[in-house]
Amino acid sequence: MPCIFCQIASKEISSELLHEDDDLIAFRDINPQAPVHILVLPKKHITSLNEMKDEDFPLLGKMAHVARELATKEGIVERGFRIAVNCGQEGGQTVGHLHMHTLGGRQLKGELG
Ligand code: DGP
């Protein structure tokens, strides 16, 4: 079964991209948990944090950087926001392609608020 996020990254499935560069894309979560809920992810298929190789880890820094840039564009950076990466079943990961949630626009609480 093809990976839905790879299909979005390759434009097989159209999506409104909020960011694209050589390594990463970002788009709004289909099931937003907050007024701003953006997913930032690598174009390269990496299933989860558990499958990251040493050379992949700089991507996480780039993802956090893009998340903050998008939070700034969305006007939530001063109020505060959250980035989160779920890993594996008990971590709440439902899509097997590494992604960073960027959430904000309301007061977030425990878990993922
Ligand atoms: P996680 O539970 O951490 O694996 O988060 C996966 C998120 O991906 C979940 O919040 C819903 C979102 N999602 C799943 N399929 C799609 C899709 O086809 N398009 C978009 N925009 N978001 C999706």
Residue 97: name the closest of 12, 31, 17, 25 by CA. 25
Q: What is the pLDDT along the chain (113 residues), one digit of tens a residue?
A: 789 999 999 999 999 999 999 999 999 999 999 999 999 999 999 999 999 999 999 999 999 999 999 999 999 999 999 999 999 999 999 999 999 999 999 999 987 64
Residue 91 CA: nearest ligand 1 atom is: 3
26: which strand partners? 19, 40
Please tell me the predicted confidence (pLDDT) of residue 56: 98
Q: Which two tokens stand for residue 65?
A: 């950087």
**113 to each of 48, 50, 105, how far by Cα in Å?**
22, 24, 12
Model pTM? Answer: 0.97
Ligand 1 centroid–CA 31 distance in Å is 7
Angle (CA) 45 11 62, round 5°: 50
Contact criterion met (CB below 8 Å) for 17 and 62 = no
Distance from the CA of 39 to the center of ligand 1, in angstroms? 8
Ligand 1, residues at Cβ distance < 6 Å: 4, 27-31, 39, 86, 92-95
User: Distance from the CA of 1 to the center of ligand 1, in angstroms?
Assistant: 16
